[in-house]
Amino acid sequence: MLSKLDKVIDRCRAEGLRRTKALEELLATLLENNRPMTLAEMAESPRLTNQCDKATVFRLIQRLTDKAILRRLGLHERAAYFALLLPGEHRDYLICTNCGSIESVNAPCPVYELEKEIQFTTGYKNLYHELEFFGTCPACSI
């Protein structure tokens, strides 16, 4: 049975990306942290600091985002966060408009049934959605 990392690497290869040590370590970092991360957080992670420079991490992130393996989150004027898109797994996010912090919504997805209905009525295949809620986090509300 393939691990999550092996499955993501297989997706990368299917999209034409070369399997490199830097790619493996970047994906492993995202899987281990299980949360959206910034470019700086990834580049400074123990797995990547000795593996490659920040520019290489940036190029990998861009390629993975272009191939819909990573999702860019956040406010455009702030540092972007990136989350790994895993087939069959779905997360929605809360984003603070003041500090830019991001956290997962721990509630059932409110549009899951709507997505299924749209797929059925339109005939679209591989339909998915991305949902982000914006507001002021408790720390910024004080």
pLDDT tens digit sequence for 21-41: 999 999 999 999 988 999 999
Residue type, 75: L
79 and 31, same domain (yes or no): yes
65 and 100 in a single domain? The answer is no
- Pick from 56, 72, 87: which residue ends a domain? 87
For the cut 90, the answer to whether the pLDDT of residue 12 exceeds it is yes
* DSSP-assigned letters across all residues of 61-106: HHHHHHTTSEEEES-TTS--EEEE--TT----EEEETTT--EEE--
Which of 87, 104, 134 represents a domain boundary (last residue)? Answer: 87
Question: Residue 77 and residue 96: Cα distance in Å, rounded?
Answer: 13
- One domain for residues 49 and 95: no
**pTM of the entire predicted model:** 0.81
So what's the pLDDT on residue 18? 93
Range of the domain at 49: 1-87
Query: How far is 10 from 70, CA to CA, in rounded Å?
Result: 14
Is residue 61 over pLDDT 90? Answer: yes
pLDDT confidence of 76, banded at 50, 70, 90? Answer: low
Q: Check whether residue 57 and residue 105 sit in a common domain.
A: no
- Residue 91's contacts (CB-CB under 8 Å, 6 or more residues apart) are 83, 104, 105
Residues 47 and 100 in one domain: no
Q: What is the pLDDT of residues 85-139, one digit of tens each?
A: 887 788 888 988 888 888 888 888 878 889 889 999 999 987 778 888 899 999 9
Q: What is the mean pLDDT of the chain?
A: 88
Question: What is the number of structural domains in the chain?
Answer: 2
Instruction: Give the pLDDT of residue 86.
Output: 83
Which stretch of 50-54, 76-80, 128-132 has the lowest confidence by average pLDDT? 76-80
Residue 111 sits in a domain whose CATH number is: 3.30.1490.190
